[in-house]
Structure 1
Amino acid sequence: MATKTNFTSNGKKYYRINYDIGMDADGKRIRKQFVGKSRKEAEKKKLDYINKMNAGLKDAKNMWLAQTLKSWLFEVVKMSGNIKPTTFARYEGLYRNYIENSPIGCMSLDKLESIQIQRYYNKLFRQGKSSNQINYVNKFLKQFLNYAVDCGYILKNPCSGKKVAIPKENSDKVSERHIPVFNNEDLTKIIKAENSKIKYIALFSLSTGMRRGEIIGLKENDIDYKLKEIHIRRTVATTTIFDDNNKRSKQTIVQEPKSKNSKRTIPLPASLVEIIKASIKIKKSEKLKAGSSYCKDNLDYIFLSEQGNLINAGNLDKTWSKFLRSLNIPHKKFHALRHTYATKQFENNIPLKTISMLLGHSSIEITANIYTHVLKKEKEKSADILADIKTMV
């Protein structure tokens, strides 16, 4: 039996149904067409559309993922005033590198399904992207799709719940996570190195576990010598900034610490007092040398560039690399000093909760996950109670 059709397009026969969806400003009827290979298929498309409208959904047929996500990112997220510049720069990078020209980026929101997202993640994993990186992409995409649900573009978030799995290596293949730390020989070289600004910044991290941006964001009045405390109230970061026309530029800025717990007060080690005073002395010497060209806007910061500007993260990294080479120490990122501090604290039996608070982690679970290998080694040192009792009998 031949399939009934009612119109032809490009030499092919279809069945078309018209549906009134309202009136325009002139009182004329607004109609929407539903086309299928048969009347049954066209009717189904119409019914699906009516159900979506009744559920409060908007027509997302021509709302492409990449295009709509970009609009959300620059017109909603950026303009909300609730996002740090560094966070927005990270989001923009995730969009540009993983969504804009991706296999799912050209899909309309109403056609996007969990299995398509899963296949994309699997492809990224096979290409060498880590589980952590894919997880960042998923969190970002999930956040946008929650917005799409709120706006009525889609009924459900295809990333919510357990609809999508983050690809991971089999547990028996996963090697123990390596956390870079400096050995005692390297630390001795750093401590005995010729006095300099980069040495003092390094010793600050080594003795407090502070992040790089937190150290170069310290002001003189953040140090309480009487109560022997350091108040961490801000961080300095070099990041991509987008102007009103979304033009990109690199800038060094001051912003709130990384998380709520990052804004904290930690003990001031006695060994750090002289280092702070020596650092301030370097700053004053550089100010005197630069004369009128020295920037007067940041005088209360402990660490500044030779011209009195906030220290650029890229420049600090270069200086750090040069410093390690001069001491014949294998290169490790500056952040390895923070890892070294935490490891030394564990080795001295400082409780996990205390170390987590000192580091400014948002949760104790983060600390435990990062330093799993250290905790394991410390547990292996625990006493064999039965063996100790036997020796006493």
Structure 2
Amino acid sequence: MPRRGENIYKRKDGRWEGRCLKQDGKYRYFYARTYKGVKEKMKNYKETRESGKEKRYGGAKDVCSLFESWLEDASLRVKPSTYESYYRCMDKYVIPFFKQDKSQKLTEESVLCFVKAMREQPGLADSSRKKNLTIFKIALKEILKGTPEGFSIIEQVKIPKPDDKEVMVFSLKEQRLIEQTALHSKDKRAAGIILCFYTGIRLGELCSLKWGDIDMEAGTLSIGRTVSRIKDFEEGKSKTALLVGAPKSRKSLRKIPLPEFLLKLFKECGFSHANPDHYIFSQGDSPIDPRCFQKLYKKLLKEAHVQDRKFHAIRHTFATRALEMGVDVKTISELLGHSSVSITLNVYSHSLMEQKKLPLKNLMTCII
């Protein structure tokens, strides 16, 4: 329950959430790791609004100031991990470009020049280009909202469509080799790698698991939080910090059925006498760093003599195995925690096409 007269709540993921009613009748949300943090953000917002500066973008002298003001505004209302992405994009690409360009105003020409520069940026992965242009477009929409020239300027930002690349997955043989290596590992945390192969959970979700998330009677695993290492923007703090927060989207809050052998494995790992509030893979009050699991994963691949791939390949492997077994796409989407089925269809389009070809191949064999 919120304190009297306040719209501040403690979320299930441990974070605090506050909300203020805007002049348009909609709510603005604020997030922080503490009650005090949310209250401070809400106080700053109210003071800014009351002083008639809610639309801070209008008072900016140049383009760089516009983006800096937008970034400051975003810090009050988005998740820390989201803000870090915004900050990196603005600080490394957007603001330096417009500072060099010395533009005093956002125009179709200046925006188009930035888009071209981003697409020609050397050493930048296609996914990073897409991400930066998406963030740039989000900023433009908020900065230029309500302006007559806004639409035509925003239209200059065309987000590149991802190539229809085949997702990297482990073959069934490779999966078996990794599982056997993990089972015989002296490091008990290796059980987490096996868990990912049969649930498709993300690395951050794996690191945030507590013993209380496992329901032995129902045979399910609850996903309600994630762990990420992000830049710490507070003065006097270390460069990065571990953050336990909400999963990627609302659909990521889910329950996943566990195979019998995994339930047995957790019982052998000491489930019966474990503290339900303790993190599974750190055995304490603090979660394990995702980088530690990355190192363990790389070590297992090397011991299993399996070609190196990103940790996310385990998630792709789970989805591909499920498709091979005939599980429908909607169910797979829910198990993966995708925000929509269309994401699942887009990511695994190649695997889906392969599954469609199998009946045709069998049919052709019968006819011949």
Aligned-partner residue type, residue 96 of structure 1: D
- 1:242-267 per-residue CA deviation (whole Å, 9 max, x = no partner) reads 11x49662111210111010001111
2:69 aligned with 1:79: no
Residue of 111, 120, 124 corresponding to 2:118: 124
Cα displacement (A) at 1:143: 2.3
Cα displacement (A) at 1:280: 4.0
Residue of 279, 303, 317 corresponding to 1:301: 279
| Structure-2 residue corresponding to 1:381 | 358
- 1:283-312 per-residue CA deviation (whole Å, 9 max, x = no partner) reads 97xxxxxxxxxxx9x95221117x763111
- 1:292-348 per-residue CA deviation (whole Å, 9 max, x = no partner) reads xxxx9x95221117x763111222212221222222222112111111100000111
Contact 1:279 1:303 in 2 (8 A): no
- CA distance in 2 between counterparts of 1:372 and 1:356 reads 13
Aligned counterparts, 1:309-328, within 5 A: 309-328=286-305
- CA distance in 2 between counterparts of 1:379 and 1:159 reads 43
Cα displacement (A) at 1:60: 6.2
- CA distance in 2 between counterparts of 1:362 and 1:373 reads 20
- CA distance in 2 between counterparts of 1:138 and 1:78 reads 19
Which deviates the most, 370-379 or 111-120? 111-120
| Structure-2 residue corresponding to 1:334 | 311
Secondary structure (helix, strand or coil) at the match of 1:310 reads coil
Secondary structure (helix, strand or coil) at the match of 2:293 reads helix
Aligned counterparts, 1:206-225, within 5 A: 206-225=197-216
| Structure-2 residue corresponding to 1:292 | none
CA RMSD of aligned residues (A): 3.3
| Structure-2 residue corresponding to 1:93 | 88
Cα displacement (A) at 1:124: 2.5
Structure 2, unaligned runs of 5 or more: 1-54
2:337 aligned with 1:346: no
- CA distance in 2 between counterparts of 1:279 and 1:333 reads 27
Cα displacement (A) at 1:62: 6.4
Secondary structure (helix, strand or coil) at the match of 1:242 reads coil
Contact 1:118 1:165 in 2 (8 A): no
Secondary structure (helix, strand or coil) at the match of 1:252 reads strand
| Structure-1 residue corresponding to 2:52 | none
Aligned residues: 310
- 1:22-41 per-residue CA deviation (whole Å, 9 max, x = no partner) reads xxxxxxxxxxxxxxxxxxxx
Contact 1:233 1:256 in 2 (8 A): yes
Contact 1:104 1:116 in 2 (8 A): no
Cα displacement (A) at 1:211: 0.8
Cα displacement (A) at 1:386: 8.0
| Structure-2 residue corresponding to 1:164 | 157
Secondary structure (helix, strand or coil) at the match of 1:90 reads helix
Aligned-partner residue type, residue 351 of structure 2: V
- TM (normalized to structure 2)? 0.74
Which deviates the most, 379-388 or 307-316? 379-388
- 1:197-231 per-residue CA deviation (whole Å, 9 max, x = no partner) reads 34201001001001111122112121112222211
The percent of aligned pairs where both chains have the same amino acid is 28
Contact 2:278 2:285 in 1 (8 A): no
- 1:70-98 per-residue CA deviation (whole Å, 9 max, x = no partner) reads 23212x11123xx2111111111111221
| Structure-2 residue corresponding to 1:68 | 66
Secondary structure (helix, strand or coil) at the match of 1:362 reads coil
Residue of 187, 190, 197 corresponding to 2:175: 187
Contact 1:131 1:168 in 2 (8 A): no
| Structure-2 residue corresponding to 1:24 | none
Residue of 202, 212, 216 corresponding to 2:193: 202
Cα displacement (A) at 1:107: 4.4
Q: 1:144 to 1:234 in 2, by over 3 A?
A: same
Contact 1:201 1:215 in 2 (8 A): yes
Larger RCO: 1 or 2 (CA < 8 Å, sep 6+): 2
Cα displacement (A) at 1:184: 2.3
| Structure-1 residue corresponding to 2:5 | none
| Structure-1 residue corresponding to 2:342 | 365
- CA distance in 1 between counterparts of 2:217 and 2:294 reads 33
- CA distance in 1 between counterparts of 2:59 and 2:79 reads 33
Secondary structure (helix, strand or coil) at the match of 2:239 reads strand
Contact 1:198 1:323 in 2 (8 A): no
Cα displacement (A) at 1:361: 0.4
Q: 1:159 to 1:199 in 2, by over 3 A?
A: farther
Cα displacement (A) at 1:237: 1.4
Cα displacement (A) at 1:183: 1.7
- CA distance in 2 between counterparts of 1:114 and 1:276 reads 58
Q: 1:60 to 1:248 in 2, by over 3 A?
A: farther
Q: 1:387 to 1:188 in 2, by over 3 A?
A: closer
Residue of 251, 256, 276 corresponding to 2:246: 256
- TM (normalized to structure 1)? 0.69
- CA distance in 1 between counterparts of 2:115 and 2:225 reads 36
- CA distance in 2 between counterparts of 1:123 and 1:148 reads 21
Cα displacement (A) at 1:180: 1.4
Residue of 226, 232, 236 corresponding to 1:235: 226
Aligned-partner residue type, residue 74 of structure 2: V
| Structure-1 residue corresponding to 2:11 | none
Aligned-partner residue type, residue 87 of structure 1: T
